[in-house]
A = this chain, B = another copy of it.
Amino acid sequence: MSQIQFTRNEQPKAKPDANHLGFGKYFTDHMLVMDYTEDQGWHDLQIVPYGPISLDPSAMVFHYGQEVFEGMKAYKTADGRISLFRPDMNLKRLNASCERISIPQVDPEALMEGIVELVSVDREWIPEGDDTSLYLRPFIIATEPCLGVRAAKEYKLMVILSPVGSYYPEGIHPVSIYVEDEYVRAVRGGTGMAKTSGNYASGIKAQEIAKLEGFSQVLWLDGVEKKYIEEVGSMNVFFKIGGEVITPELSGSILAGVTRDSAIALLRSWGLPVTERKLSVAELFQAARDGKLEEAFGTGTAAVISPIGTMKWGDEQISIAGGDTGEWSRKLYEAITGIQKGLLDDPFGWRQIIL
């Protein structure tokens, strides 16, 4: 082992049933922690037994939400190695989120080294079944005990690991989407491009209303005009219209998804034109009426590809790809998970074998 201090968990837990993992419910035996103070900067990177953390009730994260996070997955490959998928993009985005939320940035190399060690220590926790992986959740919270509204002077970074199955209990399966035109997730000038807790808190209400109406997720419109499509649930979103794939451009209020970027590259490599531009919900529904909306899907680390089967906007409900998983949605899902698990060639060099 490297310079990272390691305290072994002497009371390892029983591992959960790999067929009923769900998402983010089980955690491994260890976690990575690192602290920040003004004097020392980021210091004391350690692997310690997974367990509760103790914080003063005035810790600033509880009051003013200075928090950023990331989501990545580790896979056992077909030849018994362990891989991550484009972790450099996640670490870069973590620092971009830090910049927006005024949290001190982290040395990506030191963090990567810590993550590799952590995954190595808990490698027995990586599930091997279809649609399973080890989800990695790096996050940073403001820990300084003070109620003044300003950037904190003390932070804690943690990485926790969770063996997961499909994000949706039904696996890759078309979801029903409700176009949200009252609540807003983010607005340009806000924090939409950062992976930070406040964006998610603001979305829960609309998601609950959608669920009550029988829909799985919400389609978010832009905060300014409430016309343009931004994200779906906590995923980026793609539409295939008349042979062309369209995804909302990164306007400042949309998260720059790693799966989004990968989907664009793969689709283009397969000869499909992909355009990043503003797309209004009116244009989308007109395309559906004209019979040109061929496919729709969300992209994200948790669900990878989430096909959209139906969509409701006001009183109008449309069915997409016959309510089924579209051809390209399935192709993308298989390509990305195949690269992740070492079952397919990796033409872009995305798979990073770490162990």
Establish whether residues B57 and A160, one from each chain, have CB atoms under 8 Å apart when the complex forms: yes
A149 CB contacts on chain B under 8 angstroms: 200, 203-204, 207, 233-234
Q: How many residues of A contact B (CB 8 A)?
A: 66
Establish whether residues A205 and B65, one from each chain, have CB atoms under 8 Å apart when the complex forms: no
Of the listed residues A31, A200, A204, A223, the one surrounded by the most CB atoms of chain B closer than 10 A to its CB is A204
A23 to B265 alpha-carbon distance, docked (Å): 51
> Is residue A67 within 8 Å, beta carbon to beta carbon, of the partner chain?
yes
A53 CB contacts on chain B under 8 angstroms: 54-55, 57
A182 to chain B: closest residue by CB: B189
Which positions 80-114 of chain A face chain B at CB distance < 8 Å? Answer: 100-102
Nearest chain B CB to A162's CB is how many angstroms away?
A: 6
Establish whether residues B147 and A67, one from each chain, have CB atoms under 8 Å apart when the complex forms: no
Stretch touching chain B among A133-141, A308-316, A336-344: A133-141
A162 CB contacts on chain B under 8 angstroms: 58, 147
Contact indicator per residue, chain A 145-165, by CB within 8 Å of chain B (1) or not (0): 111111100000010101000
> Is residue A173 within 8 Å, beta carbon to beta carbon, of the partner chain?
no
Establish whether residues A197 and B200, one from each chain, have CB atoms under 8 Å apart when the complex forms: no
Known: A187-B190, A198-B65, A223-B223. Is A204-B58 also a contact (CB below 8 A)?
no
> Is residue A277 within 8 Å, beta carbon to beta carbon, of the partner chain?
no
A55 CB contacts on chain B under 8 angstroms: 52-53, 55
A183 CB contacts on chain B under 8 angstroms: 189-190
Establish whether residues A65 and B62, one from each chain, have CB atoms under 8 Å apart when the complex forms: no
A27 CB contacts on chain B under 8 angstroms: 56-58, 145
A75 CB contacts on chain B under 8 angstroms: none
> Is residue A196 within 8 Å, beta carbon to beta carbon, of the partner chain?
yes
Establish whether residues B204 and A66, one from each chain, have CB atoms under 8 Å apart when the complex forms: yes
> Is residue A61 within 8 Å, beta carbon to beta carbon, of the partner chain?
yes
A94 to B10 alpha-carbon distance, docked (Å): 43
A100 to B57 alpha-carbon distance, docked (Å): 23
Establish whether residues B67 and A65, one from each chain, have CB atoms under 8 Å apart when the complex forms: yes
Which of B54, B57, B160, B202 has a CB less than 8 Å from the CB of A58?
B160
A57 CB contacts on chain B under 8 angstroms: 27, 31, 50, 52-53, 158, 160
A221 to chain B: closest residue by CB: B189
A200 to B201 alpha-carbon distance, docked (Å): 13
> Is residue A331 within 8 Å, beta carbon to beta carbon, of the partner chain?
no
Establish whether residues A201 and B201, one from each chain, have CB atoms under 8 Å apart when the complex forms: no
A220 to chain B: closest residue by CB: B189
A67 CB contacts on chain B under 8 angstroms: 62-63, 65, 201
Establish whether residues B204 and A151, one from each chain, have CB atoms under 8 Å apart when the complex forms: yes
Establish whether residues A148 and B204, one from each chain, have CB atoms under 8 Å apart when the complex forms: no
Which positions 1-33 of chain A face chain B at CB distance < 8 Å? Answer: 22-25, 27, 31
Q: List 15 A-B contacts (CB under 8 A).
A: A31-B57, A57-B158, A62-B67, A63-B67, A64-B204, A65-B197, A101-B201, A102-B204, A102-B205, A149-B203, A149-B204, A149-B207, A183-B190, A191-B198, A198-B201
Query: Which residues of A come within 8 Å of B, CB atoms?
Result: 22-25, 27, 31, 50, 52-58, 61-67, 69, 100-102, 135, 137, 139, 141, 145-151, 158, 160, 162, 182-191, 196-205, 207-208, 223-224, 226, 233-234
